[in-house]
Structure 1
Amino acid sequence: MRDVLQYPTALTIAGSDSGGGAGMQADLKTMQACRTYSTAVVVGLTAQNTLGVQGAYPTALDVIDQQFASIFADFDVRAAKTGALFDRDHVLQVVENLKKYEVTNLVVDPVMVAKGGAALLDSAGIDALREDLLPLATLITPNLPEAELLAEMPIASQDDMVVAAHKIMAAGAKNVMIKGGHGHGPVVYDYVLLADQVGFWLTGDRVATTSKHGTGDTLSAAITAYLAQGESLSVAIALGHQYMNKIIGQPLNIGHGHGPLNQGQWPTTIAQQGVNHEV
């Protein structure tokens, strides 16, 4: 039973990024920054850095069950999100547990390809995501390439984004947010289609930086955090989008490839931090 006195708690169901920029690590940092406590079900491990994914190792299915059981035996999870789920068997195992524990306020980030190009969900897994996970989602947040796969159509314009959102909704999604970060031009356009058929655009300046690793994870985690706090979906989306716009222009100089986001909004240099290293 929900204890209203407990601190807002969310759950991330995703893969671990050893480089710390995306996946579960991005989710945990983001939820912390958005003042929500996060529990975690590790669906798989990756050997990964800013240069790419060097290996992917899915978690044993019974271990996924055990993690869910431990979390729901103790924590008051008020919202959850999924990230990289690796393959069909893992998608279906996660779906089974989401149903078993009657998880609500579920945000599905349909992670299919890493920023560096490595596949993070096989073709059978994409089918399972579309057929079995999508109907459980309160909100699905595909980027343009993912939306093209889910809607089974090319997306070359804002009009296409609207059509794709309706197709994804017709496939079973309750609410859809198509992210336009893979588009072109000085402005990024995200399109939101809600269950009541109300659609609206969210915009942000396109920032010229390579430090965008984990953007999808971060946005969906922020929305999840605000849902856990009791915000309505439309407000949670707006707050998550506002948070993303705030941090995208404050990159940290980390790694030598697609660098991580600055979820904590740290000063970007040691000089700005005023750190004293004297001992």
Structure 2
Amino acid sequence: MAIVEVRGLRKTYGSTVAVDHLDLDVEDGEIFGILGPNGSGKTTTVECIAGLRRPDAGVVQVTGLDPHAERARVTRIVGVQLQQAGLPAKQTVREAIALFASFYDDPVDGLALAERLGLGPKLDSRYADLSGGQQQRLAIALALVGRPRVALLDELSTGLDPRSRREVWRLVEEARDAGTTVILVTHFMEEARHLCDRVAVIDRGRLTALDTPEGVIGGIGAPTVMSFAISGAVEVEALERIDGVASARRRDDGRLELSLTDEAVLPVLQALTADGMHPERLRIVDATLDDAFLDLTGPDGEE
């Protein structure tokens, strides 16, 4: 069941088309990723879903509500963390969390949430005195403190160190497990693959792919690359005759490198073993979400 529906969304800024007749459905209880290069319309889409921007055309609904026309009702069920967001310079972390928790009917323990995000020692610090990473963690806390039906998270991991990033990922997964649907905008492909049930790839305001992360990767048809060191003479042409092997070559460093399907990996190893050869320092690299991203978006990443 779709909790967020976007139909024919269009938004322009002067002569620039930010979002061009975009259709999306986000299912209740999933973590839904929106990927795309800079200027692709990701943030504009999220801002329209949050009710912060009025679409020029199209329909956006969150739990059946129009987020712009029914902004007050939507605000009570949606948590938002945006790239460019700020708080009053003199407001403390404690005050901000208490304020945002008051917007919702059933908030979580805001102070416990702050502790998990490493903000416990900063509760009485003013916003202006926080580092960039601390401001980012506070923005995440404010988006999740209300136990929202829908959380909109734009560039979740910006400015976070690896330890903080992993803790934030756990929080997002826990929020989903507790009933929050998450829409995640990210440039970080590892984050999308780790967290997202499905991802939409947007380029120049249009949808170019919509699937699970693995489905998007599989859709580009990129081969698996297998490489290894081996002593003795190997008949490269014989390896290329194995079903699923697209090419085989000996690299300048002496390693053999094969481009092949996943299903061909085992037959290749069996053929080598049958000839008395034992691959060393074997490395198998699958196509990644980065590969899919580059394949599905424009060459310059700009509108």
Same fold (TM over 0.5): no
Q: Which has the higher strand share?
A: 2
* TM-score for the superposition, normalised by structure 2: 0.29
* TM-score for the superposition, normalised by structure 1: 0.31
Bigger radius of gyration: 2
